Amino acid sequence: MALNLVVLGPPGAGKGTQADRLAKAKGIPKISTGDMLREAVRAGTEIGLRAKAIMESGQLVSDDVIIGVVRERLDKPDAQRGFILDGFPRTVAQARALDTLMNGRDPLIVVDIVVPEAALVERLTSRLVCSTCGTNAEGVSVSAMDTTPCVRCGGQLHKRSDDSEAVVLERLKVYRRDTQPLVDYYRSRPTFRAVNGAQPMNRVYEDLAEAVDSAASGGALGGAVR
């Protein structure tokens, strides 16, 4: 059975970090629409040029662009054994499109990582990422970003332009308006789970892995935060 997983949660919930770790453990690709779009921006592609201004203002890129990117990615050979989606779907319309893309595949498991908003603002406004590979820097302060290289590639760390406080607050507002309804869309499914993302990273990972295994084995509905 292929593991087809969507990781939900607001900006700063740790979706990317946890999805990376689980993807490596399961031997399947982590598919991040945010990473793909940022690469398109760096490369100056048509999609990148269309998305750049929208992303930097904290708004969402249009459904047709995102769905097209995801459709092409899921058709690649390495995704046939399963995948982890990080950053998609972000709207109910995208979720319905994903349901269509899942025709003929094993069931979709959905896990929501829940974190209080105050903690999210603190995390995002102090977050540093690698300017070369986009990896989040864990445990590095802003004052040390010029002297601490990326642990993955050795690149220089910096603050993303969309991690200013004003943009962070706008992103969370957009999340509440457009993305939070996804929880209601998926909540009644037997493959939906929610985990507490305000814990230490290792504990969040343990809860996430347990939730995924429970959903894959047909365990009881797990809508409550663990």
Query: What residues act catalytically?
Result: 15, 90, 127, 160, 171
| Dist. CA 3–CA 17, nearest whole Å | 18
**In this structure, are residues 11 and 172 in contact, taking their beta carbons and an 8 Å threshold?**
yes
Q: Please give the backbone phi and psi of residue 115, each rounded to the nearest 5 degrees, phi first.
A: -140, 135
| Dist. CA 82–CA 213, nearest whole Å | 14
Q: Please give the backbone phi and psi of residue 147, each rounded to the nearest 5 degrees, phi first.
A: -115, 0
Helix (H, G, I), strand (E, B) or coil at 118: helix
| Dist. CA 184–CA 141, nearest whole Å | 36
| Dist. CA 172–CA 59, nearest whole Å | 10
Q: Which contiguous run of DSSP H or E holds residue 105?
A: none
For residue 107, say if its preceding peptide bond is cis, omega within 30 degrees of 0: no
Q: How many CB atoms lie within 10 A of CB 184?
A: 9
| Dist. CA 217–CA 128, nearest whole Å | 37
